[in-house]
Amino acid sequence: MTRHDRLGRGITFSPSNVKGMRIEDYALIGDMQSAALVARDGSIDWLCLPRFDSPSCFAALLGNERNGHWWLGPQGRRPATRRRYRPDTLILESEWDTPTGTVRVIDFMPPRDRNPDVVRIVEGVAGSVEMSTQLRVRFDYGRIVPWVRRDNGHLQAVGGPDSVWLHSTVPLKGGDYAHRATFTVNEGDRLPFVFTWHPSHEPMPPRIDSETQLAETEAMWAEWVARCTYSGPYREAVVRSLITLKGLTYSPTGAIVAAPTTSLPEDLGGVRNWDYRFCWLRDATMTLDALISSGYLEEAADWRSWLLRAIAGRPQDLQIMYGVAGERRLPELQLDWLDGYEDSRPVRIGNEAVRQLQLDVYGEVMNCLYVSRTRGLAPDDRAWSIQRQLLDYVEEHWDEPDEGLWEVRGPRRHFVHSKVMCWAALDRAVKYVEGFGRTGPVERWRRLRDVIHAEICDKGFDPRRNTFTQSYGSSELDAALLLIPMVGFLPADDPRVVGTVAAIEKELMADGFVLRYPVAADNEVDGLPGGEGAFLACSFWLVEVMAMQGRKDEARDLFERLLGLRNDVGLLAEEYDPRYGRLVGNFPQAFSHVPLIHAARALS
């Protein structure tokens, strides 16, 4: 199939991946330490164990079924007739109507005690249905074919440091490096399958009771959702987004991953494929802001503790991202044995952007910690001491060029958004002293805050076009400029903000959605070939700014269009590509669900 990008260049790609599944055909299950993606046809095509950033044991999402998957569904392999999450949970229910009856598969990962489990319960709803399952375990991102043995009717697969068990009353038979079974489910039957990982040098872990775990998992989610303080007209969308964000939290440390996947393309068939299974300080602070505003202060305390451990040391050593336990080395590698989603290569693990200078992160961290304190988070002397060190770094380096919010891989620039967030770091420091009695050189911070503000308005604003620009001296726009009123740099009704919003609506909109910045052959800002879709966070930012400007009807119309891009279970990827009418990028993406929550609150 051939399409054309905005430059008129022909693009040829298959309409979906090797199994016919689009990104939006997947649903998320997880245990707040790792996560799996379950396709609409009942196949788990992505699962990393024991952590979000561990090597996968199912990688069909980025290759083919021989790279590992676990399919479970009616014979004939068809998409589910319908599926949903159980209300206020991360428990997925997929149902198939067949000529002989109806069957339901319940998929979930119970919050773990020690070992991670994936539970799949096949339930006969009506009549009688012939079912099939196929299991291919492939460790190390689809590369290692394990040794498989049977023990008292149960399967164990071992490869290097990894071992998994499949416990089921349904016997599976091996052949062609896979295990399969066919069986019949009658109305009222409930047949559990339990998939458990453990280190290969340890003995088989205790088996869990699937029904007990189902009940406890449902109760845990219901209890957590009950703490939500949002009660506006978009509660269903907000709660689903909050659950998704909680599902992306690594509970042992409090870290929050940007997404549970790697290398789902921003440009189908292109090279914009990145590993998002790490904790970006920016993404995490925005996520916490959304959680805090919805009544979840405990998560902020956990993340602050993680942050203090992760960034301990010299402020100049601060990284923009860390591993979920605070790891600093995240080397970027390419996995050449995987074909990539829809031939989008290379497939990458790790992220070279860890080395980048992104000055806006300092403002995000200061703002998040300030908001947390205003919402009741207890004071912490060590936290303030580290914040003081971060501010020292901002004072010394705010006037340097950086790679900016979008992690460009082109030359460093004086990005306006980065400067605005340096201003925000100092602004929140001043407010800390004024509001919480902290000590610090507040007069010096005030003076520098004013200096930065004046420079941005001078060098980052184009008076001829009445708009702020992407960087000093640039004529390009950037959707991150929509954050200017949200962080308090200027009011939403300031003529310069009004002009910037108008310019973005005129120049960065594609089919009614907002692009991050112009991607064209003559714009080398990001140093990468190819195009990309509309970054969903940017469109939600526009909703919020419209609401701040009193344009509630326009904001509501755009917001409801954005809600319509969610898949059937309420999930969003990083981008939406209007060229193909599809979600693209890593999935589900915290950076999309966070501004959804803020936009809903702005409209409420």
For residue range 402-417, what is the model confidence (pLDDT) as tens digits? Answer: 999 998 877 899 999 9
Residue 553 CA to residue 538 CA, distance in Å, equals 18
Res 152: pLDDT: 82
Q: Please answer whether residues 323 and 349 qualify as being in contact, where contact means their C-beta atoms are separated by less than 8 angstroms.
A: no
Provide the β-strand partners of residue 89. none
Which two structure tokens, joined as six digits, stand for 477?
A: 């726009």
CA dihedral angle for residue 341, residue 346, residue 347, residue 350, rounded to 10 degrees: -150
Q: Is the dihedral of CA 447, 452, 458, 462 positive or negative?
A: negative
Mean pLDDT of 500-520: 91
Mean pLDDT for the chain overall: 92
Terminal CA-CA length for the chain: 43
Q: Which of 414, 406, 416 is nearest to 535 (CA)?
A: 406
Structure tokens that stand for 318 in this block: 């601060």
Whether the per-residue pLDDT at 54 is higher than 90: the answer is yes
Find where tokens 């599944």 sit. 21
CB 185 within 8 A of CB 131: yes
Q: In which residue ranges of the chain is CATH 2.70.98.10 found?
A: 23-201+208-223
8 Å CB contact between 164 and 156: yes
Give the Cα separation of 565 and 588 in Å (integer). Answer: 13
Greatest CA separation found in the chain? 78
Please give the DSSP secondary-structure letter assigned to residue 189. Answer: -
Q: Determine if the pTM surpasses 0.75.
A: yes
User: Are the beta carbons of 372 and 304 closer than 8 angstroms?
Assistant: yes
Q: Taking 90 as the threshold, does the pLDDT of residue 14 lie above it?
A: no
Note the pLDDT tens digit of each residue in 282-308. 988 888 889 999 999 898 889 888 888
Q: State yes or no: pLDDT of 330 exceeds 80.
A: yes
Fold of 227-603: Glycosyltransferase (1.50.10)
Contact (Cβ atoms closer than 8 angstroms) between residue 410 and residue 401 = no
Confidence of residue 10 (pLDDT cuts 50, 70, 90): very low
Position 303 scores a pLDDT of 87
Cα four-point dihedral sign 396, 400, 405, 409: negative
CATH topology of domain 23-201+208-223: Beta-galactosidase; Chain A, domain 5 (2.70.98)
CA distance linking residue 571 with residue 594, whole number of Å: 12
What span, in angstroms and rounded, lies between the C-alpha atoms of 477 and 460?
Answer: 11
H or E element at residue 139:
helix 139-142
Domain with CATH 1.50.10.10 in the chain: 227-603
**pLDDT score for 564:** 97
Residue type, 599: A
What pLDDT, on a 0 to 100 scale, did the predictor assign at position 527?
A: 61
Neighbouring C-beta atoms of residue 127, cutoff 10 Å: 15
Rg, Å, the chain Cα set:
24
Structure tokens at 329: 């080395």
